[in-house]
Amino acid sequence: MSDTSNSLLERLRQGPNETAWRRMVDLYTPLIRGWLRRYALKDSDCDDLVQDVLAVVVRRLPDFQRRPQVGAFRRWLRTIAVNCLRDFWRSQRFEPRGIGNADFSSILSELEDPESALSKLWDMEHDRHVTAVLLEKIRPRFETKTWQAFRRVALDGVPVDQVAAELGLTANAVFIAKSRVVHLLRKEGEGLLD
């Protein structure tokens, strides 16, 4: 993970790059599968749809325009997933029922509306998943105390003074540790989380 995620997107846009595509597939396959499993799909259909979504990403990524609004990539990815799901349902002449007996068209409408509760849920799941994967990838770059300081303050919500006392650090050292990890996380998540 020496390149930023924005660089990952740029490398993928520029043409075939096996390492970059493997990273993209590893990062997004579990998330997309989780999104699609909710919609009355057999495992084999879900796997096929995940591959369909990633195939569209491969074809269309050179055309993806990163915009300044938050969530441009995840919104673009969600749109691709929704369109693949729509195509699958149409090809199967299948109209699944969602939670509360929602019909096919209302599910798709909700997913297409960035302000809907369902779209916001998908966005939240995207950000949690990508953040967790990126945190796991950057973890080895930090010394144990640096990581512990970050984790306790940023993830566990423990006050800086308490973390400093627990780890035998100054409050300033805890702030610096948190800042270093957050900086690298933002760098790695650029284009994917912003």
pLDDT in tens, 95-119: 554 444 456 677 778 888 888 998 8
Signed CA dihedral, 122, 125, 131, 132: sign only: negative
| 3-class DSSP state of 87 | helix
Residues 129 and 179 occupy one common structural domain:
no
Residues 119 and 152 occupy one common structural domain:
no
Amino acid (one-letter) located at 181: V
Residues 29 and 102 occupy one common structural domain:
yes
Residues 69 and 108 occupy one common structural domain:
yes
Range from 40-49, 57-66, 128-137 that averages highest in pLDDT? 128-137
Q: What mean pLDDT comes out for the span 121-132?
A: 91
Q: Among 51, 8, 31, which residue's Cα sits nearest to residue 133?
A: 31
Q: Among 190, 156, 155, 154, which residue's Cα sits nearest to residue 175?
A: 154
**Per-residue pLDDT, 102:** 53
**Per-residue pLDDT, 97:** 47
Residues 188 and 98 occupy one common structural domain:
no
CATH of residue 94: 1.10.1740.10
Distance CA 5, CA 185 (A): 10
Counted domains in the chain: 2
| 157 — pLDDT class (breaks 50, 70, 90) | very high
pTM assigned to the model: 0.79
| 160 — pLDDT class (breaks 50, 70, 90) | very high
**Per-residue pLDDT, 108:** 78
Residues 127 and 171 occupy one common structural domain:
no
Residue written as token pair 């495992």: 43
Residues 123 and 161 occupy one common structural domain:
no
Chain centre to alpha carbon of residue 38:
17
Residues 131 and 154 occupy one common structural domain:
no
Distance CA 145, CA 151 (A): 10
Residues 68 and 124 occupy one common structural domain:
yes
Which of 120, 137, 154 is the C-terminal boundary of a domain? 137
Percent of the chain with pLDDT over 90: 39
Which of 98, 115, 137 is the C-terminal boundary of a domain? 137
Could you tell me which residue, 68 or 53, shows the higher pLDDT? 53
| 35 — pLDDT class (breaks 50, 70, 90) | confident
Distance CA 24, CA 132 (A): 15
Which of 137, 159, 186 is the C-terminal boundary of a domain? 137
CA within 13 Å, CB half, 184: 20
Chain centre to alpha carbon of residue 120:
13
CB atoms within 10 A of CB 140: 8
Range of 65's domain?
A: 5-137
Residues 107 and 43 occupy one common structural domain:
yes
Contact call for residues 82 and 108 (beta carbons, < 8 A): yes
Residues 89 and 156 occupy one common structural domain:
no
